Structure 1
């Protein structure tokens, strides 16, 4: 039910955003020169966040889903719009944004990084107030320092997952497929409804993404990843969160040196999965 609500909400919002006065301003040219719309980004962010909150087991967990999805989606949309300006395109990757900052320039990408981090921190703090999470932490006998570290680790997982899904958004359907694969195992358990809402919203837009009619952009990819990060953080203790964060940090660091697109193209299985359902002409 939650997944279905997410799919319906994302499709409805896509139509609304496309037909709104701002719709033409969200049109872009993709890697093959086709005109697509970024309207799928805010549609996915809002649909996934709303459905994820609906499927959350408590008010604090629902608030965490809203903060993560809407917050990450909003700063992602800012980067989609402002980051497309010519003066913004020179800064690539985290190192590029820091280099621009040293020159006195605040890039849209840096705003996104800080904003996603803030959304992750807010979501992790709210998640810590969830009764199930609090009971688990109480049984572990965590003190103030332990709870603070746990929240920081949770924030890192939320922000890191948002960034990972965004890094994969370089070909039609890739970010959405990645979100579906990452999110499917997270749809079980007490907090599974959060991931189910995100997975449903993503699935609802997959066909349009593969057909190159829409693009989820940073807004949709960041929101999808952030919500999956909330679902992951909710089911992990400090050790699990630290392990997940280490993997996410390693993949992020690797992305600065290698092209994920080239790795996927050279890897049997991954290559076929990546191309599955994508238009050929």
Structure 2
């Protein structure tokens, strides 16, 4: 099998599984549709079911992705499934009282465990597990863990407008499709699932929520960590850290709105 065929098979599996999972979940929502319904930024009712549909489909497709090594496969499935599960938990049980990474860390320092705090700790643990599977040596494993967890968190910060997180994920992950394995194989299924859900997200029928956005970011983080050298890992982690800290003070939505190219890209395909 050529290098292109396994990636194509993974992308197709991700797309088919995501579309099928969303259709099945929307026909019989666990706990009823009301539990998954939220108002988006424009006040329209949307379903959070895209989150578990994306996370489940991406993890399942990675589980059967041809050409992946045992350690890479395990790292990807653990990271995506854990990030998705933690995100769905925060979506359904979170109160929104403590917002942002800083808010959850303040709560932890005050010995209050919020749903966001559970997610922060869980993403760190999932990152460490994935990093240990992907890289040899404690330093490289720690850097990889930071990239996986940081990517999961950053993707979630973009899920504030219809289609934004999925577009960002597709743009950030697509270069890996042209690169060497294992990154190419690790990113194919998550991108296929993202492409399948993008029309419904742009159409304001669903939203990724924390469950889908965290899973998408974790998948991209695993692909990046698997294919990067130590310097590249350190640089990626530095950028992720800088963006995360900046998000506590700067609104990404305002930055996008003030930048013509980003504004047009952000609005592409969205309802008027």
- TM-score, normalised to structure 1, is 0.89
Residues in 2 aligned to 1:269 and 1:78: alpha-carbon distance in whole angstroms:
35
Match of 2:72 among 43, 61, 80: 61
Q: Secondary structure at the match of 2:145?
A: helix
Residues in 1 aligned to 2:102 and 2:51: alpha-carbon distance in whole angstroms:
25
CA deviation after TM superposition for structure 1 residue 90, in Å: 2.1
Residues in 1 aligned to 2:32 and 2:174: alpha-carbon distance in whole angstroms:
31
Alpha carbons 1:53, 1:61 under 8 Å: kept: no
**Which residue does the alignment assign to 1:224?**
216
CA deviation after TM superposition for structure 1 residue 116, in Å: 1.0
Kindly report which structure 2 residues correspond to 1:11-50, keeping only aligned pairs within 5 A, or say none: 11-18=19-26, 19-24=28-33, 25-50=35-60
**Which residue does the alignment assign to 1:252?**
244
1:104-124 CA distance string (max 9 Å, x none):
321111111111111111111
Count how many residue pairs are aligned between Structure 1 and Structure 2: 259
Match of 1:149 among 139, 145, 167: 139
**Which residue does the alignment assign to 2:119?**
112
- TM-score, normalised to structure 2, is 0.92
Q: Secondary structure at the match of 2:46?
A: strand
**Which residue does the alignment assign to 2:14?**
6
CA deviation after TM superposition for structure 1 residue 10, in Å: 0.5
Kindly report which structure 2 residues correspond to 1:87-106, keeping only aligned pairs within 5 A, or say none: 88-106=95-113
Q: Secondary structure at the match of 2:107?
A: helix
Residues in 1 aligned to 2:109 and 2:148: alpha-carbon distance in whole angstroms:
27
Residues in 1 aligned to 2:12 and 2:19: alpha-carbon distance in whole angstroms:
11
Q: Secondary structure at the match of 2:17?
A: helix
Q: Secondary structure at the match of 1:269?
A: helix
Alpha carbons 2:134, 2:226 under 8 Å: kept: yes
Moved over 3 A (4+): none
Question: Structure 2: any 5+ residue segments left out of the alignment?
Answer: 1-8
Q: Secondary structure at the match of 2:260?
A: coil
Alpha carbons 1:38, 1:214 under 8 Å: kept: yes
Residues in 1 aligned to 2:107 and 2:14: alpha-carbon distance in whole angstroms:
38
Residues in 1 aligned to 2:145 and 2:20: alpha-carbon distance in whole angstroms:
30
Match of 1:182 among 166, 172, 180: 172
Residues in 2 aligned to 1:210 and 1:70: alpha-carbon distance in whole angstroms:
24
Residues in 1 aligned to 2:265 and 2:61: alpha-carbon distance in whole angstroms:
27
Residues in 2 aligned to 1:253 and 1:29: alpha-carbon distance in whole angstroms:
27
